[in-house]
């Protein structure tokens, strides 16, 4: 099994909002770290999850698939999912795969948190 080249750090920023800082490669190897980060982010009555992609370096189609799985889990828990920090390239991928219709995308953290009602 390949070692994940990704790190996922969770910040609880108050108001039921958690930010997951994703740094590195989002591929098949990051399934466990992503789901562990989701579990950690979901503690304490979190109802809004914000994914920070500022440190995203590489993503393949399996990575996009994992985001769908994450989205389904969040929807099941009635949690809202949003994202920020996507470069133009990754924003285009979100549009192409139509993930942007299910995950709200923002330019930066303050906009994302503002939308999430935590700022």
Partner 1 sequence: MTIDPEQAIPLEQIELSVHEAASPAEPGKARDAAFWAPNVTRLTVDADRAAAGFNVAGKRVTGPQQGFGRLWQRTYTVKLGSSVSPQQLITEWKDHFGDFWPKGNRFHGLLITPGEVAPIAVNTGAGMKLSTGVLVLYADDESFTFMTPQGHMFAGWITFSGFADGAGTTAQIQVLIRPNDPIYELGWFVMRRMEDRFWKATMVNVAAHVGVPNAVVEEHTNLVDKHRIWRNAGNVWHNAAIRSVLHLLSAPIRRIRRGRAH
Residues binding partner 1 (CB under 8 A): 1, 57-62, 64-65, 68-69, 71-72, 75-76, 87, 89-90, 92-93, 95-99, 101-102
CB of 56 to partner 1, least distance (A): 9
Find the shortest distance in angstroms from Cβ 91 to partner 1.
9
Closest C-alpha to 22, from 65, 62, 67: 67
Task: Please name the residues in contact with 96: beta carbons below 8 A apart, sequence gap of 6 or more.
Answer: none
Residue placing its CB nearer to partner 1 in the complex, 60 or 110: 60
CB of 80 to partner 1, least distance (A): 14
Beta bridge partners of 14: 17
Residue 79 CB neighbour total at 10 angstroms:
18
CB nearer to partner 1: give 59 or 83. 59
- The span from the CA of 4 to the CA of 97, in Å, is 24
């Amino acid at each position: 099994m390949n070692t994940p080249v990704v790190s996922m750090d969770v910040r609880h920023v108050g108001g039921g909002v958690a930010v997951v800082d994703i740094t590195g490669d989002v591929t098949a190897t990051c399934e466990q770290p992503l789901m562990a980060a989701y579990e950690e982010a979901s503690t304490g009555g979190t109802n809004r999850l914000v994914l920070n992609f500022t440190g995203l370096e590489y993503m393949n189609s399996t990575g996009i698939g994992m985001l769908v799985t994450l989205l389904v889990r969040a929807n099941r828990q009635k949690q809202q999912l949003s994202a920020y920090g996507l470069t133009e390239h990754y924003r285009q991928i979100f549009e192409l795969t139509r993930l942007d219709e299910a995950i709200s995308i923002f330019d930066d953290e303050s906009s994302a948190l503002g939308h999430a009602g935590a700022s």
